[in-house]
Amino acid sequence: MKSKLFTHKFFVVLCISVVALLGLSFLARATIVNNRFEQMAVDEKYSLKDSADGQFSIQFQDDENGNFYATVGLFRGGYYGLDDAYIPTSYDENTKITAIEKEAFSEFDCLKKVVIPNGICEIKDDAFKDSKNITEIYIASSVNKIAKTAFDGIDNLTIYAEKGSYAEKFAVENKINYKNYTTEPENPEAKNTDYSKIRNGAYYGEYYNYDVIYDDGKPVCVITNYNPMSSEEKLEIPAHIDGLDVISIADDAINYGGAKETVVPDTVKFIADNAFKESYSLEDIYLTKNVSYIGKSAFKDSKDLTIHAPTDSYAHTFATENKINFKATDD
């Protein structure tokens, strides 16, 4: 009798223990799942995101008081060869952008003009370092902190700022050319721009990837990748994709291309650094007068290249300065 009673009690205890362990296991799994979702939410909250116009990567963080805010982490437009930048002051209606991060605009030879509007408070170390072709930068009176190295390596810079502002004081103390302005340059994208056409890495036909960004308030296309599996000896860059102008051939876009001849349409204004990287077979490229920037390394691996373009065009000047064969296409 005692043996049966002991066996029964043991079985009851065992069942209770198993149920308890299963319960603890479930709770542990639930906790892990909850923690995972919480971590995913945190990761999403602080991950890099694109600005509304597609030209900037935005960073997110908390200040010392726990207030959530955003900063400009990178000028993506530099990889598209864009020559001007109007800094955004908000990511969305709830998140203000208050600073420009370290090296966010560093080493972009394409950049010539920058507008830092009211709302930005800080420009961090090396923010524009070695972007040597910037000639004008407009700095609003809201900026109250500029790192001493923010504009290192820019020799012909003029800072435009309001009289009595921190930017004026910074320019004078650091012996940078300075001019007063009373009206901030207009943001062409500030008038209720509809950003619904923005996209990244979309496919066009069999061989192209492209981004849609906004430039001067309108949607435009940037060729970001070309599939070199094409056996075409002649490559004709499309002038339009989905009804939008193709304005740029981005960094590394046509790398490893096998075409001997490439025709660039008159919609293209910018050809970024390394755009035709390792295009060893490229011998002839046709450019129009509308091209206003070519990255110094755009054709570095095309040793037998001839640039065909109008006389006295930017492309002509580029070919001459970089000792590339040139043929005029004048009528």
The total domain count for the chain is 2
> Do 63 and 168 belong together in one domain?
yes
pLDDT digit string, tens, across residues 4-18: 444 444 444 444 454
The answer as to whether 132 is a domain residue is yes
The answer as to whether 11 is a domain residue is no
Q: State the pLDDT at residue 192.
A: 54
Q: Which helix (H) or strand (E) holds 33?
A: helix 2-46
Q: What is the DSSP string of 131-173?
A: -TT--EEEE-TT--EE-TTTTTT-SS-EEEE-TTSHHHHHHHH
Token pair 């930048």 is at which residue? 85
> Do 205 and 176 belong together in one domain?
no
Tell me which residue range forms the domain holding 130. Answer: 49-180
Q: State the pLDDT at residue 4.
A: 42
> Do 222 and 294 belong together in one domain?
yes
> Do 216 and 284 belong together in one domain?
yes
The answer as to whether 41 is a domain residue is no
pLDDT digit string, tens, across residues 129-169: 999 999 999 999 999 999 999 999 999 999 999 999 999 99
> Do 225 and 286 belong together in one domain?
yes
Residue among 57, 253, 13 at smallest CA distance from 262: 253
List Cβ neighbours of 10 (8 Å cut-off, separation of 6 or more): none
The answer as to whether 23 is a domain residue is no
Mean per-residue pLDDT over the chain, rounded: 84
pLDDT digit string, tens, across residues 5-56: 444 444 444 444 544 544 545 545 555 445 654 544 444 556 778 888 889 9
> Do 55 and 176 belong together in one domain?
yes
Q: Is 77 helix (H, G, I), strand (E, B) or coil?
A: helix
Instruction: Select from 120, 149, 180 the last residue of a domain.
Output: 180
Q: State the pLDDT at residue 258.
A: 76
The answer as to whether 298 is a domain residue is yes
Tell me the CA distances in angstroms from 109 to 30, 31, 139, 154, 293, one per residue in order.
Answer: 52, 51, 20, 10, 9
> Do 54 and 145 belong together in one domain?
yes
Using pLDDT thresholds of 50, 70 and 90, give the confidence band for residue 215: confident
The answer as to whether 10 is a domain residue is no
> Do 275 and 235 belong together in one domain?
yes
The answer as to whether 34 is a domain residue is no
The CATH number of residue 208's host domain is 3.80.10.10
The rounded distance, in Å, linking the Cα atoms of 81 and 248 is: 7
Q: Is 262 helix (H, G, I), strand (E, B) or coil?
A: strand
